[in-house]
C-alpha cells in the first residue's frame, strides 16, 4: 500500500473512491456519518488556551463536544488514535480567489475581475465553484476556511467567508457577505505583489500619474459620500415616498453603517494614511490587507485597533525596501499589539498559507502569535470567532490532525474534518501521483 | 528613498562578524552613498567555521564540526578538524551549514530576457546583458543562493545562451561569471513558444510555429542546418591542411547561430529545455537522440513524473518547481509530488525558482519534496545543491561540502527546513557576501529612524 493511500485509509470513516476512477464533486464530503469521532492521545493545540498533552477531543454533529486531558470517549464514537499526532483548528486564509478561478490562462474559468471601478453589489460567493479542483488541494494542507473575493477596480465587490467543503456555494458559506473589498488607489511603482489599484503605463509622467491618483482617490471618496447620502435618504424615506433603488448603493449601506467590515487592499504607508482618513470621515470598520509598509504605522494601528491581514510574505519588497521587509513586517505589527491574520492572495497555492506564516516566524514573529494569526484572529476580524478559529466546546468542528507544526513544511496532515465531516485526503494531485507511480517501469 | 542608502552606507563601516552575535553598528556617516557602495569584505586567506552542524550533502551530516577554508577552497571538514593558526573564525555554534544553494533556473541580473522576434536565436548571449547591481542578486544571497543559471526566456524554440554565475553581488559585472562552467543554451517547448496566450494586436502576424508539431520541425531543421554547416567547416579544414602554398581555400561564412548549435551537437554546450507536457518531453528526447546530443536538463518539466523513466534513461536532469500549478493549461497536470516521484524513478532532480521571489527561499521549496511524495531529507537538500550543480556541469566545483570544492556556503540559524529557518551568512569562494548581522534589515532601518528622528517616529502616530 502506498503512502498516500495509507494516509487515506487511516481515516476510519472515509469511503475511499477508486483512484483514477469516476470523480464525484471533489469538494464535497465522501463520508458516512458516524455519531461521534474521538481523537485520543494527541497533543491538542486549541490556540485560545494552553496546549494539552495526551489530550482527547470529541466531535459530534458537526461541533466540538469536548476537548481536554480528562475527557472520556463516548461509547458510540469512532476512535482515532492520535499518538504522536497534533490537533489544530483549521486554518483560515484571509485573502484568496478560491472558487473564482481554475486555470489562470483559460478565460472561461475566471470570475476574478469585473468591468468598471465600482462593483459593491457583486457577491463573490455567487460565483464560487464548489467543485473547483483547487479546493481539495487547499484543504488537504489544513486550510479549511477562506476569504474569497474578486479583485480589481476600486470597489471590487463583497468577499465571502467559505468553508472548503459543500455541495453548493451556499453550503460552503460561513458568511456569504463577509466584507467589502476596496482596492485603494496608489501611485504605483511599489514593486510586485502588493495590492493597491495601480494604474498608468510607463508612458505617463510623474505629474500625470499624480493627477490620476488624485482623480481616483477623489472618485473613491465621493462614492462613499454618495453611499452615505443614499443611506441617509433611505433611512428618512417613508413607505409612501417613491425612491429609485440602486443595487450598488444598497450594497454600500451596511458598509456606511459600519456593520460590514471593509477590506482595504493596500501596500504603502501613504495608502494606509489615506484609508485612515477615509475611515474617519465615514466611520468605516477597516481591515487592512497586504500592507507591507504597515510597520511604519504599527503604533497607530495598534492604538486604533485596526486589524491587518498581512502577506503574502512570499512577495518581493520594493526596490528601496529592506530585503526582509515582507518577512519582518508581521512580527513588527504583532509586537506593537496589532491583530494580524495571513493571506496568500492566491488560489492554486492557498495551501501555502502556513508556510507564509513560517517566513514571518523566521524573521521575528512569535510562533504562537503566528498560529493565532492563522486561525482565531481572522475569525475575529469577520465576526465568526464564536463559531470557528479555535478548538473549544460548542465550536464548529474544523479540525486538522497533523504529524507536527503545520508551519513546518515537513509536517503532513493525517486527518481532516470540516464541520465534523471526515474528508478524504485526496485531490487531483494525489490521484495523478498514484496513477503515475503505478506506471510500469519502462526500459526505453 | 534615502533610508536604504543610509542603511547600506552604515553597513559599509562594519566589519564582518560572526553570524547571529549582537554587535553595535556605527551610526551612518554618509547618507549619499549609492547602493553599489555596499562593501564586500575581501576574502581572508584562511577561514574556519567552528562548532556548526554541517550538512555536507555528499557525505552525511556532521553534528558538530569544523570547516577550514584556504584561499577560497574547502581545505578540511570534519568533527575533529583543528583550527589553523591565524584563521578568521566564524562561530557556528547552534548554526547549520549547507552548501551554497544552486538555482538552475533564474533570470536575475538579466537586463533583457527574451529576444522574441524569431523562434531560433541561438546566437544571443545572456552574459552580454548581466547587471551586477540587480537587487535580486542581493536578496538571493540573503536566501543562501550562491550560484545561478541565468537563462534566456522561453519565447523561442531555441533561445539564447545561458550564463552560469556566482552571486558575487557588488563586484564588477564580469566577476559574476562562473569561471570554467560549461556553456549552455535555452530551448523551449509548448505554449510560450507557440505564443498561445499572447494577445495578437490587429495587423500583427502570428509567428511560426503555432503547434507542437511545428516546434519539432523547427528543431530538426535547425540541427540539420547545423550538421551541414559543420560539414562545410570540416571540408574547409581538410582542404586547408592539404592546400598548396598560396592556394588557401576560402572559409565558409561564419554563422554565430549555427556555431552554438554545432557546439550542442558536439556535446560542448549543455541544453536546458523549458518543457511542460509529457508528449513534448518525449519529442525532445527523440530529437536529441536522432542528432546525437543529450539534454542536460529539462526545465519546469511539470509532467516529468509521467515519463520519468524515459528522462532517466536518457541521462537528462529535471529542474522543476516545488508546487506551481494551474496558471495555464499545460500546468494543469502539474503535481507537487513531481520532484519526489522523478527522483524515485532515478532522475536527478533540482528545485528551481524562475523567480526573484522564490529564489530567496529555495530551502523552503526543497522541503516540499519531503511533504509531497516523501523524499528523504538528503534527497531534498540535494535538489537545491548537488543535483542542480550536476545539471549545470559544475558538480566538481560546488554543490556539496567536500575538501577541494569551492567554499560556497550558506549558514542558517538552525535546520534549513525548520519553520523558523533563516540565513545568517552566505560565503562564496570563502568570501562573506552576505551577513545578516551587518545587513540592511527592517529591524536595522527602524533602529536608524529611532536614532535620527527619535523613538516616536519609528512608527509614526496618525491621530
Who wins on pLDDT, A84 or A15?
A84
CB contact under 8 A, B459 and A299: yes
B36 touches chain A (CB under 8 A): no
d(CA B159, CA B182): 17
B145 forms bridges with which residues in the sheet?
B101
The C-alpha of B260 sits at a distance from chain A's nearest C-alpha, in angstroms, of 29
Contact between residue B129 and residue B85 where contact means Cβ atoms under 8 Å apart: no
d(CA B213, CA B319): 24
What's the pLDDT band for A202 if we cut at 50, 70, 90?
Answer: low
Query: Which position has the grid cell 479546493?
Result: A135
Chain B residues with CB-CB distance to A133 below 8 A: 326
A367-395 pLDDT tens trace: 999 999 999 999 999 999 999 999 999 99
CB contact under 8 A, A348 and B325: yes
CB contact under 8 A, A436 and B142: no
Inform me whether the pLDDT recorded for A20 exceeds 60: no
A69-81 pLDDT tens trace: 999 989 989 999 9
- Give the per-residue pLDDT at B38: 53
B89 forms bridges with which residues in the sheet?
B48
In this prediction, residues A82-96 reach a mean pLDDT of 98
- Give the per-residue pLDDT at B185: 98
Within its chain, how far is the Cα of B118 from the centroid?
Answer: 26
B415 touches chain A (CB under 8 A): no
- Give the per-residue pLDDT at B50: 98
Contact between residue B412 and residue B366 where contact means Cβ atoms under 8 Å apart: no
Q: Which residue of A has its CA nearest to B414?
A: A362
B325 touches chain A (CB under 8 A): yes
ipTM surpasses 0.95: no
Neighbours of A183 (CB within 10 A): 25
Inform me whether the pLDDT recorded for A436 exceeds 70: yes
Of A11, A1, A2, the C-alpha closest to A400 is A11
- Give the per-residue pLDDT at A21: 34
d(CA B389, CA B394): 5
- Give the per-residue pLDDT at B452: 83
What percent of chain A has pLDDT above 70?
87
A310-360 pLDDT tens trace: 999 999 998 889 999 999 999 999 999 999 999 999 999 999 999 999 999
Chain A residues with CB-CB distance to B305 below 8 A: 432-433, 436
Distances B127 to A431, B176, B186, B263 between C-alpha atoms, Å: 43, 9, 13, 17
CB contact under 8 A, A348 and B139: no
Who wins on pLDDT, A12 or A52?
A52
CB contact under 8 A, B4 and A320: yes
CB contact under 8 A, B323 and A328: no
CB contact under 8 A, A322 and B445: yes
Query: Which position has the grid cell 519502462?
Result: A442
DSSP string over B289-338? HHHT--EEEEEE-TTGGGGHHHHHHTT-EEEE-SS--SSSGGGTT--TTH
- Give the per-residue pLDDT at B5: 45
Grid cell digits, residue A343: 493571506
DSSP-derived pairing of the beta strands A308-310 and A421-422: unpaired
Contact between residue A120 and residue A255 where contact means Cβ atoms under 8 Å apart: yes
CB contact under 8 A, A362 and B422: yes
Q: Which stretches in chain B have pLDDT values below 70?
A: 1-39, 455-463
Per the prediction, chain A carries an average pLDDT of 90
Output phi, psi for B72, to 5 deg.
85, -5
Of B229, B178, B175, B151, the C-alpha closest to B36 is B175
Q: Which residue of B has its CA nearest to A429?
A: B335
A404-429 pLDDT tens trace: 999 999 999 999 999 999 999 999 99
Q: What is the CA angle A104-A105-A109, rounded to 5?
A: 65
Q: Which residue of A has its CA nearest to B196?
A: A105
Contact between residue B103 and residue B81 where contact means Cβ atoms under 8 Å apart: no
d(CA B140, CA B138): 5
| DSSP 8-class letter at A285 | -
- Give the per-residue pLDDT at B451: 84
What's the pLDDT band for A239 if we cut at 50, 70, 90?
Answer: low
What's the pLDDT band for A203 if we cut at 50, 70, 90?
Answer: low
- Give the per-residue pLDDT at B143: 98
Neighbours of B284 (CB within 10 A): 23
B199 touches chain A (CB under 8 A): no
* First-to-final CA distance of chain A: 27
Output phi, psi for A231, to 5 deg.
-65, -40
B372 touches chain A (CB under 8 A): yes
Nearest CB partner across the interface for A409, out of B306, B371, B422: B371
Q: Which among A112, A302, A328, A362 is the top mutation candidate for probing chain B, defined by the most B β-carbons within 10 Å of its own β-carbon?
A: A362
A7-17 pLDDT tens trace: 433 333 333 33
Q: Which of residues 114-173 of B touch A (CB under 8 A)?
A: 135-136, 138-139, 142
Inform me whether the pLDDT recorded for A261 exceeds 70: yes
Please give the sequence-ordered ranges of beta strands (E in DSSP) within A105-202, or none if there are none.
143-148, 155-163, 173-183
Chain A residues with CB-CB distance to B191 below 8 A: 105
The C-alpha of A74 sits at a distance from chain B's nearest C-alpha, in angstroms, of 34
In this prediction, residues A155-167 reach a mean pLDDT of 98
Neighbours of B236 (CB within 10 A): 15
d(CA B311, CA B317): 7
CB contact under 8 A, B367 and A410: yes
d(CA A18, CA A8): 12
A103-154 pLDDT tens trace: 999 999 999 999 999 999 999 999 999 999 999 999 999 999 999 999 999 9
B233 touches chain A (CB under 8 A): no
Let me know if A141 is exposed, middle or buried by CB neighbors in 10 A (0-12, 13-18, 19+): buried
CB contact under 8 A, B357 and A319: no
Of B113, B256, B130, the C-alpha closest to B186 is B113
d(CA B11, CA B438): 6
d(CA B447, CA A338): 20
Inform me whether the pLDDT recorded for A28 exceeds 90: no
The C-alpha of A294 sits at a distance from chain B's nearest C-alpha, in angstroms, of 9
Let me know if B174 is exposed, middle or buried by CB neighbors in 10 A (0-12, 13-18, 19+): exposed
Kind and range of the H or E run holding A92: strand A91-96
Distances A421 to A27, A36, A43, A417 between C-alpha atoms, Å: 12, 10, 21, 5
Contact between residue A165 and residue A122 where contact means Cβ atoms under 8 Å apart: no
Amino acid at each position: 500500500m502506498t503512502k498516500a493511500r495509507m494516509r487515506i485509509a487511516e481515516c476510519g470513516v472515509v469511503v475511499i473512491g477508486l483512484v483514477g476512477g469516476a470523480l464525484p464533486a471533489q469538494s464535497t464530503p465522501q463520508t458516512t456519518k458516524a455519531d461521534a469521532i474521538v481523537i485520543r492521545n494527541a497533543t491538542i493545540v486549541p490556540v485560545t488556551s494552553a496546549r494539552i498533552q495526551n489530550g482527547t477531543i470529541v466531535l459530534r454533529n458537526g461541533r466540538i463536544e469536548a476537548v481536554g486531558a480528562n475527557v472520556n470517549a463516548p461509547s458510540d464514537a469512532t476512535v482515532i488514535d492520535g499518538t504522536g499526532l497534533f490537533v489544530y483548528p483549521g486554518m483560515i486564509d484571509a485573502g484568496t480567489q478560491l472558487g473564482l478561478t481554475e486555470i489562470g490562462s483559460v478565460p472561461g474559468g475566471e470570475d476574478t475581475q469585473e468591468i468598471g471601478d465600482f462593483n459593491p453589489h457583486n457577491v463573490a460567493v455567487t460565483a464560487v465553484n464548489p467543485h473547483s479542483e483547487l479546493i481539495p488541494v487547499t484543504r488537504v494542507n489544513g486550510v479549511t476556511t477562506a476569504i474569497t473575493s474578486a479583485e480589481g477596480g476600486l470597489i471590487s465587490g463583497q468577499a465571502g467567508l467559505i468553508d472548503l467543503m459543500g455541495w453548493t456555494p451556499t453550503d460552503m458559506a460561513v458568511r456569504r457577505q463577509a466584507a467589502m473589498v476596496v482596492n485603494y488607489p496608489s501611485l504605483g511603482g511599489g514593486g510586485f505583489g502588493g495590492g493597491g489599484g495601480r494604474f498608468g503605463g510607463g508612458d505617463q509622467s510623474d505629474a500625470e500619474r499624480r493627477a490620476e491618483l488624485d482623480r481616483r482617490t477623489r472618485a473613491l471618496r465621493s462614492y462613499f459620500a454618495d453611499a452615505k447620502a443614499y443611506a441617509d435618504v433611505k433611512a428618512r424615506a417613508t413607505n409612501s415616498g417613491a425612491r429609485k433603488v440602486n443595487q450598488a448603493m444598497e450594497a454600500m449601506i451596511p458598509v456606511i453603517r459600519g456593520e460590514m467590515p471593509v477590506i482595504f487592499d493596500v501596500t504603502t504607508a501613504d495608502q494606509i494614511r489615506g484609508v485612515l482618513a477615509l475611515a474617519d470621515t465615514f466611520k468605516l470598520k477597516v481591515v487592512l490587507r497586504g500592507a507591507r509598509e504597515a510597520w511604519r504605522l504599527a503604533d497607530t494601528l495598534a492604538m486604533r485597533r485596526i486589524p491587518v491581514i498581512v502577506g503574502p510574505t512570499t512577495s518581493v519588497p520594493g526596490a528601496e525596501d529592506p530585503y526582509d521587509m515582507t518577512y519582518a513586517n508581521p512580527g513588527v505589527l504583532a509586537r506593537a499589539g496589532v491583530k494580524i491574520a495571513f493571506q496568500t492572495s492566491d488560489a492554486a497555492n492557498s495551501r501555502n498559507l502556513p508556510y507564509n506564516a513560517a517566513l514571518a516566524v523566521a524573521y521575528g514573529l512569535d510562533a504562537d502569535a503566528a498560529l493565532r494569526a492563522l486561525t482565531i484572529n481572522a475569525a475575529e476580524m469577520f465576526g465568526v470567532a464564536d463559531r470557528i478559529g479555535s478548538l473549544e466546546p460548542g465550536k464548529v468542528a474544523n479540525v486538522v490532525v497533523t504529524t507536527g507544526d503545520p508551519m513546518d513544511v515537513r509536517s503532513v496532515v493525517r486527518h481532516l474534518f470540516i464541520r465534523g465531516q471526515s474528508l478524504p485526503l485526496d485531490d487531483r494531485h494525489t490521484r495523478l501521483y498514484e496513477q503515475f507511480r503505478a506506471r510500469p517501469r519502462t526500459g526505453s | 528613498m534615502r533610508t536604504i542608502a543610509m542603511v547600506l552606507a552604515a553597513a559599509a563601516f562594519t566589519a564582518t562578524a560572526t553570524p547571529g552575535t549582537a554587535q553595535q553598528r556605527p551610526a551612518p556617516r554618509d547618507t549619499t552613498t549609492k547602493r553599489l557602495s555596499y562593501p564586500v569584505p575581501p576574502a581572508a586567506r584562511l577561514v574556519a567555521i567552528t562548532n556548526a552542524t554541517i550538512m555536507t550533502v555528499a557525505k552525511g551530516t556532521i553534528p558538530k564540526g569544523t570547516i577550514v577554508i584556504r584561499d577560497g577552497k574547502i581545505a578540511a571538514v570534519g568533527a575533529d578538524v583543528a583550527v589553523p593558526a591565524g584563521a578568521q573564525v566564524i562561530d557556528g555554534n547552534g548554526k547549520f551549514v549547507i552548501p551554497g544553494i544552486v538555482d538552475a533556473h533564474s533570470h536575475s541580473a538579466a537586463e533583457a530576457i527574451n529576444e522574441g522576434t524569431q523562434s531560433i536565436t541561438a546566437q544571443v548571449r545572456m552574459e552580454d546583458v548581466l547587471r551586477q547591481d540587480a537587487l535580486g542578486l542581493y536578496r538571493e544571497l540573503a536566501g543562501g543562493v550562491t550560484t545561478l543559471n541565468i537563462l534566456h526566456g522561453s519565447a523561442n524554440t531555441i533561445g539564447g545562451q545561458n550564463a552560469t554565475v556566482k552571486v558575487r553581488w557588488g563586484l564588477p559585472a564580469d566577476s559574476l561569471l562562473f569561471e570554467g562552467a560549461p556553456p549552455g543554451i535555452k530551448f523551449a517547448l509548448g505554449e510560450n513558444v507557440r505564443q498561445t496566450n499572447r494577445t495578437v494586436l490587429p495587423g500583427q502576424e502570428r509567428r511560426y510555429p503555432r503547434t507542437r508539431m511545428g516546434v519539432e520541425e523547427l528543431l530538426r531543421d535547425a540541427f540539420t542546418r547545423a550538421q551541414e554547416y559543420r560539414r562545410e567547416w570540416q571540408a574547409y579544414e581538410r582542404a586547408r591542411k592539404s592546400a598548396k602554398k598560396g592556394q588557401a581555400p576560402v572559409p565558409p561564412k561564419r554563422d554565430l547561430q549555427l556555431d552554438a548549435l554545432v557546439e550542442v551537437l558536439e556535446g560542448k554546450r549543455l541544453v536546458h529545455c523549458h518543457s511542460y507536457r509529457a508528449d513534448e518531453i518525449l519529442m525532445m528526447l527523440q530529437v536529441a537522440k536522432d542528432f546525437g546530443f543529450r539534454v542536460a536538463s529539462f526545465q519546469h518539466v511539470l509532467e516529468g513524473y509521467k515519463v520519468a523513466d524515459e528522462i532517466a534513461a536518457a541521462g537528462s536532469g529535471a529542474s522543476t518547481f516545488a508546487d506551481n500549478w494551474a496558471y495555464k493549461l499545460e500546468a494543469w497536470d502539474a503535481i507537487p509530488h513531481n520532484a519526489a516521484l522523478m527522483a524515485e524513478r532515478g532522475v536527478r532532480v533540482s528545485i528551481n525558482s524562475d523567480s526573484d521571489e522564490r529564489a530567496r527561499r529555495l530551502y523552503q521549496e526543497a522541503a516540499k519534496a519531503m511533504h509531497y511524495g516523501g523524499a528523504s531529507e538528503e534527497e531534498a537538500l540535494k535538489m537545491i545543491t548537488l543535483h542542480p550543480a550536476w545539471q549545470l556541469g559544475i558538480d566538481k566545483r560546488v554543490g556539496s561540502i567536500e575538501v577541494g570544492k569551492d567554499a560556497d556556503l550558506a549558514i542558517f540559524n538552525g535546520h534549513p527546513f525548520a519553520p523558523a529557518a533563516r540565513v545568517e551568512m552566505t560565503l562564496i569562494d570563502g568570501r562573506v557576501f552576505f551577513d545578516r548581522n551587518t545587513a540592511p534589515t527592517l529591524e536595522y532601518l527602524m533602529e536608524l529612524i529611532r536614532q535620527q528622528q527619535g523613538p516616536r517616529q519609528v512608527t509614526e502616530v496618525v491621530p
